[in-house]
Amino acid sequence: MKTVGVLAFQGSVIEHKKKINEAGADAREVRHPEDLNAIDAIILPGGESTCITRMLNEFQLMEPLAQKIQQGLPVWGTCAGAILLSRNVDGQPNPLPLGIVDIDIERNSYGSQLDSFQYQTPVSFLDNRQVNLIFIRAPRIHSVHTCENLLNIEWKQQQEIVAVKQNNIFITTFHPELDSGCTFHRYFIDNYIKTP
Amino acid sequence: MENREQLNRNLAQMLKGGVIMDVVNAEQAKIAEDAGAVAVMALERVPADIRKQGGVARMSDPSLIIEIKEAVSIPVMAKARIGHFVEAQILEALKIDYIDESEVLTPADEKHHINKKVFSIPFVCGATNLAEALRRIAEGAAMIRTKGEAGTGNVVEAVRHMRAIREGIKTISGMEPQEIMVWAKENGAPYELTCEVAKNGKLPVVNFSAGGIATPADAALMMQLGAEGVFVGSGIFKSENPQKTGEAIVKATSDYKNPQVLAEVSRNLGNAMSGLEIAQIPEDQKLAKRGW
C-alpha cells in the first residue's frame, strides 16, 4: 500500500489524513527528518505559512524535505503549503529551499476572512467531475512561468489560476481536504506516485 | 449548512495545532508572528492588567486594531463584550478575521449573548462545559474555547473546563434519543446539536483552550487533554522573555506528545508570569462566571 505523509506541525492535518485513507492509502504524520524515510509522497497542508516555516526550521526538517522533493518525492501543497513551494512570494524571491515551483504567489490576496469563498466548477483533470473548491484567506497565483496551469476559475470578473503542476509537485490554492469526497487525493496518489 | 457558516468553521480548522497570542500593539504583534503564532488577538490590555486595574473593559480602539492588522499577515482577532452586538458590528466593519465574544471584557448584557448568526464574520466564544459550548454554537459561534480563568497564569480552571467538555461528550455518547432529550433539558443544551455530538463524539466546531496557560508544559497539557490549539493571553508578554516564551509555547503546542521536545523548550525561559491562586480571587471577580 502507498504511504502518504502529512506535514503535521499545524493546520488541516487530520482532514488530509482522513482523505488519504478514504482514497485507499496509508497516512503518516511527518515532523522529524526520519519520518521522511517511510513515505511515498507528502502533503503540505493548509495552516499558517509563517508558523509552518518556523517549525520546519525548528525541527530541522527544511533541508531534508527540500532535498527529497528535488530528488523526486511527490508533493502536494494546499494553500499555506502552496506558499512554501512557490518561487516568488509577495513579489520577493522565496528564501526557503522549498521554493522551487516557478510561480508568483501572493499571500491572503483575496482579503480577510470575509472574502473567503466557495466555487463550484467541473475539473478537467478529474474527468470533468463537478467539485466544490474552498478558499480560506487564500493566496493568489499571479503568474505561471514554466510549470503547467491545471485549473482556472473566474472570480469577480477575474481569471484566477488555482491549481498548477510542475513535475512531481502539485499545488492548489484551495482546500480539497475540507470538502466531501476524495477525488483530488485519489488523483494525487494515482498520478504522482510511481508504482515500482 | 450555509456557505458562510461552513467557511467560518473552516478557518478555525486552519488554526489547529497553533497558538493564538494576545497583543496590545503592532510591535508585540510582529514578535508574536515571528514566534510562530497562528493568529493574534488585538486588545488594549492583557487580562492580567484588566484584572489588576479594574474598571469597565471594552472593545479596543479601532485604530489600534487596524495598526495591528497592518503589521502582520496572520489572522487578526479582536474582542467584543458579551452581548454587545454593536461592538461586533464595528469589528466586522474593520474586516478583521475573527471576533471573540469574551468574558475578559465587562459584559454588556447580563442575559443575552450576541446573535452571531446574523453576522458574516466568524465568532469564537468561551465555554465552561458542553452545554454552554452548544448554546454558543447554536447562536452561531464557529469556534469554541474553554474559558479557564484569564489573567491568572493558573491553568487549573482551563483543565477543569476542558475535562467538563470531555466528560459531557462521554456522558451523551452512549445515550438513546429519549435520554439525550432529558440531558438536553436538564443542562439547557440545544437538542439537535446535542444529538449531533452524541453521534460524532466531538463538537461540530474546533475547540481551543484558553485562560491561564503560562508555560510550554501548560500548553501541551491542554493539547493532551484534547484541545485543538491554545490561546495565550497574559502568559507571553507578561513573562520575562516574551519572544523565547512565545517560541517555546508554539513548539510545545505543535509537538505536544513528545516529552523530549517539551523538556528542551522548557529550559531557561526565565520567569513565567506570576500566577494567582484561584481561591484568592473573590467570587464576583471570576471572569469565567460571566456569560452562561
Is residue A54 a known part of a binding site?
A: no
Residue B1 has what pLDDT? 56
**Do the domain assignments include residue B117?**
yes
Give the cell for residue A147.
510549470
Residue pair B137/B206 in contact by the 8 Å Cβ criterion: no
Rounded mean pLDDT of chain B? 95
Q: Nearest chain B residue to A117 by CA: give it.
A: B7
User: For the segment B187-216, what is each residue's pLDDT rounded down to a tens digit?
Assistant: 999 999 999 999 999 999 999 999 999 999
Closest residue of B to A79, CA-based?
Answer: B14
Q: Looking at the DSSP assignment, which residues form a beta bridge with residue B102?
A: B81
**pLDDT, position A145:** 86
Distance from CA of A11 to the nearest CA of B (A): 4
Q: Tell me which residue range forms the domain holding B13.
A: 1-285
Residues 6 or more apart whose Cβ sits within 8 Å of residue A91: A104, A106
pLDDT band for position B217 (cuts 50, 70, 90): very high
Angle between helices B26-35 and A49-58 (to 10 degrees): 50
Partner residue opposite A54 with nearest CB, options B36, B95, B98: B36
pLDDT greater than 70 at residue B66: yes
pLDDT at A196: 66
A34 is in an annotated binding site: no
Using 50, 70 and 90 to split pLDDT, how confident is the model at B52? Answer: confident
Cell numbers at residue B199, please? Answer: 453521534
Which residue in A15, A16, A79, A160 is the catalytic one? A79
Domain count for chain B, please give it.
1
Q: Which domain holds residue A71?
A: 3-192
Residue B16 falls in the annotated catalytic set: no
Residues in chain B, total: 292
Residue A169's pLDDT is 97
Q: At B83, phi and psi to the nearest 5?
A: 80, -5
pLDDT of B184 > 80? The answer is yes
Q: What percent of chain A has pLDDT over 70?
A: 99
B240 domain residue, yes or no: yes
CB contact under 8 A, A9 and B98: no
A62-119: pLDDT as tens digits: 999 999 999 999 999 999 999 999 999 999 999 999 999 999 999 999 999 999 999 9
Helix, strand counts (H, E) of chain A: 5, 13
Classify residue B290: in a domain, yes or no.
no
Q: CB distance A13–B10 less than 8 Å?
A: no
Which of A50, A59, A134 has its CB closest to that of B74?
Answer: A50
Domain count, chain A: 1
Distance, in Å, from the CA atom of A130 to the CA atom of A185, rounded to the nearest integer, reads: 15
Percentage of the residues of chain B whose pLDDT score is greater than 90 = 86
Other residues' Cβ atoms within 10 Å of the Cβ of residue A120? 9
At B246-278, the pLDDT tens digits run 999 999 999 999 999 999 999 999 888 888 888
Position B63 pLDDT exceeds 80: yes
Q: Which three cell numbers stand for residue B259?
A: 516529552
The Cα angle at residue B176 between residues B172 and B181, in degrees rounded to 5: 70
Residues of chain A with pLDDT under 50: none
Of the residues A15, A160, A175, A182, which is catalytic?
A: A175
pLDDT at A188: 98
Q: Is residue B105 part of a domain?
A: yes
Looking up residue B241, the CATH number of its domain turns out to be: 3.20.20.70
> What is the pTM (predicted TM-score) of this model?
0.96
Confidence band for B2, pLDDT divided at 50, 70 and 90: low
In CATH, what number is assigned to the domain containing residue A185?
A: 3.40.50.880
> What single letter denotes the amino acid at residue A113?
Q
Taking the C-alpha atoms of residue B159 and residue B108, their distance in angstroms, rounded to an integer, is: 27
> Do the domain assignments include residue B291?
no
